[in-house]
A = this chain, B = another copy of it.
Amino acid sequence: MDNTVTLAHGAGGKQTSQLIDSVFKAHFANPDFTADDAAVLQVDSGRLAFTTDGFIVSPYEFPGGNIGKLSICGTVNDLSCMGAKPLYLACSFVIEEGFPLDKLEEIAAAMEKTAKEAGVRIVAGDTKVAGKGQVDHIFITTTGIGRLMDCAHTSGKYAKPGDAVIVTGDIGRHGCAILLARNEFGIDADVTSDCAPLWGTVKKMFDTTDQIHVVRDATRGGVGTVLYEIADQSHVGIQLDAQKIPVAGEVSGVCGMLGLEPLYLACEGRLVVFVPKEQAQAVVDTLHQCPYSKNAAVIGEVTADMPGKVVMKTEIGLQTLLPQPGGELLPRIC
């Protein structure tokens, strides 16, 4: 076989089968993986979560991961935020003619490794090839099915005055890592993405308390955007304590140089969690035991005042309104 992806690989014939066998089937092998038009899954009755996400990140490789790892984490985390154990994934690829096969291998390997860690099976897929210049390298859409835990009833609508606002780690890493990976600013800083599959983390939180009101992953738009959405959906105010928001030194350095606010930089392995204040310490203690949330912290609380607004208490005690998110900070972050 040639060492790049060709249009024939996308034609649905012999070459498509060969590509599927040599790359995808080789990595994704599991008893539910299908070569037919659809995977057949035996399910028990109950509540399933169903979610889809397209990944077009540029560059497709970055410190801390690649588009394959990201595409699994994104959908696993969307299911996890619902309190749903990720069970099955379907993956759809659009690949540019001429894409290196060894890079496709690396992407598939990262997908399988991440899926294994999250305990989810890749069971169905699709491969399309577009001509040179018709798609930028590679796009992946992953769609997931998960099973909701009985105790899980979380939503952006369920934040309540008196809730503590927890973030599961230092923020803005993914956005910062992508920014630097594009080499447009001539800044040399050692920032890795926080991209990680968080089902294990969420499960441990639910084992700690069943009073989790909101769990959201702070992806596009970052923690600031997610908090504004929750404030809006729940008709509550959110008050943040600037000093308590964990930001890695290298991230805040880059943000300082470029005039960016880490609260609006995407994370791909950080959750925003709302629980009653009384449960907050137990949840944070649990998070500190988990591999991707060693820096978890309570960063604020929910108020009945100022519904729909996010207010920041600064280090010198002033209260300022966090600016409403909007516009396009950085395209193709995920």
Interface status of A145 (Cβ within 8 A of chain B):
yes
Q: Which residue of B lies closest to A14 (CB)?
A: B326
Q: Determine whether the beta carbon of B52 is less than 8 Å from that of A48.
A: no
Interface status of A36 (Cβ within 8 A of chain B):
yes
Most B CB atoms within 10 A — which of A40, A136, A334? A40
Interface status of A134 (Cβ within 8 A of chain B):
yes
Tell me the residues in window 116-143 of chain A with beta carbons closer than 8 Å to chain B beta carbons. 123-131, 133-136, 139, 141, 143
Q: Determine whether the beta carbon of B145 is less than 8 Å from that of A135.
A: no
Q: Which residue of B lies closest to A10 (CB)?
A: B331
Tell which of B7, B13, B88, B219 touches A12, judged by Cβ atoms closer than 8 Å.
B219
- Chain A, interface size category, equals 35 or more
A98 to chain B, nearest CB (A): 13
Give Cα A38 to B143, complex, Å.
10
Q: Determine whether the beta carbon of A51 is less than 8 Å from that of B94.
A: no
Most B CB atoms within 10 A — which of A48, A50, A93, A131? A50
Residues of B within 8 A of A39 (CB): 49-51
Give Cα A37 to B50, complex, Å.
9
Give Cα A140 to B135, complex, Å.
13
